[in-house]
Amino acid sequence: MGELRLSYPACVIAGKTRLTVDDIAILREHVFVPGITASQDAVILLAINGSCSEKCPEWHRYFIDAMTEFIVRTSYPQGAMDEWNADWLIAMISTRGVVNSRIELDLLFHIIDISTKIPDSLSIFALEQIRMAMTEDASASASAWAGLRGSRQNGLQKADILLIARVMSAIARSRGSQLTLRERRMLEQVGILTGLSGERIEAA
């Protein structure tokens, strides 16, 4: 993304320190007139999001809605996530497997919530964010969920359970009660860290 060249007026917006409602209007009216319709458009929006440290409250909903519309509703297969789209999303919102910002974490779980089907690569990636936040290693300190869950203590917290429930709901829509072997192994890893069995976490 470092070699990405932004045209006017996207380059001006990306150079700002704070995104405003007016910037959202400019993006809608001059940059993404029909919405996000190609992966290049999505990369540009991601670049703008990552380059500006301060954002107006309206940016959060605009970013998530625009990205979700493209990733889930516009891209094939419409309404669902396949392996290719999941791999692309993971590459775009994470560094070395860690989601680093709240807005990108919210995008991940919003896509998980609304997709009619997700591959196990996406469910495992989401569960891995929870597992890392439950540990005290160096990688956890850089993750978005570690800073948001409200506790630095090891072990399963209420906020973790709520996220796990969202992932399990998506798995149920995708495959019913059938977990893939990789999903079961990840749930068992979370269970080992908390002193619970994989079966108890699945029930939660």
pLDDT digits (tens, 9 = 90+) for 146-199: 888 866 666 788 888 899 999 999 999 999 888 899 999 999 888 744 444 444
Strand positions, DSSP E, the chain: 18-19, 54-55, 94-95, 98-99
Encode pLDDT of 47-99 as tens digits. 999 999 999 999 999 999 999 999 999 999 999 999 999 999 999 999 999 99
Q: Find, among 53, 122, 135, 123, the residue nearest to 90 by Cα.
A: 122
Q: Find, among 176, 167, 173, 153, the residue nearest to 204 by Cα.
A: 167
Q: Find, among 73, 36, 50, the residue nearest to 2 by Cα.
A: 50
Predicted local confidence at residue 5, as pLDDT: 75
Predicted local confidence at residue 65, as pLDDT: 97
Query: How deeply is 85 buried, as exposed, middle or buried, from its count of CB atoms within 10 A (0-12, 13-18, 19+)?
Result: buried
Predicted local confidence at residue 104, as pLDDT: 97
User: Collapsing DSSP states into helix, strand and coil, what is residue 55?
Assistant: strand
> What CA–CA distance (Å, rounded) separates 74 from 63?
15
Q: Is the omega angle on the peptide bond into residue 9 within 30 degrees of 0, that is, cis?
A: yes
Encode pLDDT of 27-36 as tens digits. 999 999 999 9
Encode pLDDT of 96-131 as tens digits. 999 989 999 999 999 999 999 999 999 999 999 998
Predicted local confidence at residue 194, as pLDDT: 47
Return left, alpha or beta for 55; rule: phi > 0 is left, psi -120 to 50 is alpha, else beta. beta
Return the sign of the alpha-carbon dihedral for residues 72, 77, 79, 80. Answer: negative
How many residues are given for the chain? 204
> What CA–CA distance (Å, rounded) separates 31 from 102?
25
Write down the pTM of the prediction: 0.88
CB 193 within 8 A of CB 135: yes
